[in-house]
Amino acid sequence: MKVVIGMSGGVDSSVAAIMLQKQGYEVIGLFMRNWDAGVNNDVLGNPTLNNNICPQEQDYNDALDVCKKLNIPLHRVDFVKEYWDYVFTYFLDELKKGRTPNPDIMCNKYIKFDMFVKEAKKLGADYIATGHYARIKDGKLLRALDDNKDQTYFLSQLSNEQLKNVLFPIGDLPKPEVRKIAEEYGLITAKKKDSTGICFIGERNFKQFLKNYLPNIPGEIVDIDTNKVLGKHIGLMYYTIGQRKGLDIGGATDKLFVVGKDLDKNILYVAYGEDNEYLISTSCIIDTINWISDKKPNNCTAKFRYRQKDNDVTLEYLDNGEILVKYDGVKAVTPGQACVLYDGEEVLGGGIIKEVRKNDTKLWYL
């Protein structure tokens, strides 16, 4: 059987390809170019590698090196326009609304498990594979065994159809074992740093990067308790709920946290203390609902952010198709982020946080 695997130039996809070979599949690599890495490079001061080769090209060279070592053909495909249309435009639109989007989730939905699949089928794929830390068993999407690396949060908007004929070869492996296997095979990616930053755009000076696409409108930072102006912010889009670092407030002696935004008045609200009342909510409404499982329970667990611990929740299904998610006090639940629902190991599905509430009342500052 033929498997087309997304080769990113990282250690996870490299070892995923090895695991597929061990299982007897015919493996073909496919590298996706989803961002024009040369755009605004001088303005952004992006890091360069190996004689001014941009990071994306370095990733391709690393993927090529791995594929040669494993005797796997590597194809390359350009999804720059599709990524802009379906992922980056969404990212900018959400920021304009004062929300905190998660572009990686939409990248999986529209690029990695849609455009990529269509391209893989052209190459004769029976299956597609990625280096995600996740598992599929009996048609169910399950968490990875390495809970610290589990990436099912980012797969929560995929449909059952998209998950058909998908393999996650490293979902049963802990990260240290993945690196050990890469070292045993002498792969160039064995000790390569994990990628961070926006999906496919990578690590950048985020403030300078966004200036190229959205106007930078400074405004006041206000103490939500006293209504006192404490300083100036550089633009609401640069801040998220619960953030502490990056607040330019002279003379502040206690910990200040971002708790809200007023788009009309261009005010960033802050409060003192990581356990302040403004960060705590007891329910939220989610839309853009996607079910992976056939189960639609009244009680389950949820994550409101990646790496967050599971929270016990009660679901109330609204007539308009949205869901009211109720929970005991949870900190920094943020509009625009994903709420992902779980039943033990199984990923049930999820939605996007539309509104945050406390005691059945919408929080006015969010």
Q: Tell me which residues are annotated as active site.
A: 107, 199
User: What residues contact 65, with CB distance under 8 A and at least 6 apart?
Assistant: 187, 188
Dihedral sign for Cα atoms in the order 226, 229, 230, 234: positive
| Residues β-bridged to residue 281 | 330
The edge-to-edge listing of strands for the beta sheet with 219-223 is: 229-233, 219-223, 267-272, 256-262
Q: How far is CA 250 from CA 28, 32, 232, 235, in A?
A: 56, 45, 10, 18
Q: Which two tokens stand for residue 188?
A: 């160039």
In one letter, which amino acid is 247? L
Task: Note the residue count of the chain.
Answer: 366
Residue 184 is inside which H or E element, if any? helix 175-184
**Among the listed residues 16, 366, 3, 364, the one whose alpha carbon sits nearest the alpha carbon of residue 189:** 16
Closest among 279, 239, 247, 274 to 363, alpha carbons compared? 279
Residue 260 token pair: 């809200």
Q: Which residues contact 126 (CB under 8 A, 6 or more apart)?
A: 1, 2, 3, 165
Radius of gyration of the chain from its Cα atoms, rounded to whole angstroms: 22
Q: Please give the C-alpha separations between residue 20 and each of 4, 17, 93, 325, in angstroms, as whole numbers.
A: 10, 5, 39, 39
94 CB neighbour count, 10 Å cutoff: 20
What the block records as the tokens of 301 is 């667990």
Token duo for residue 71: 């005797």
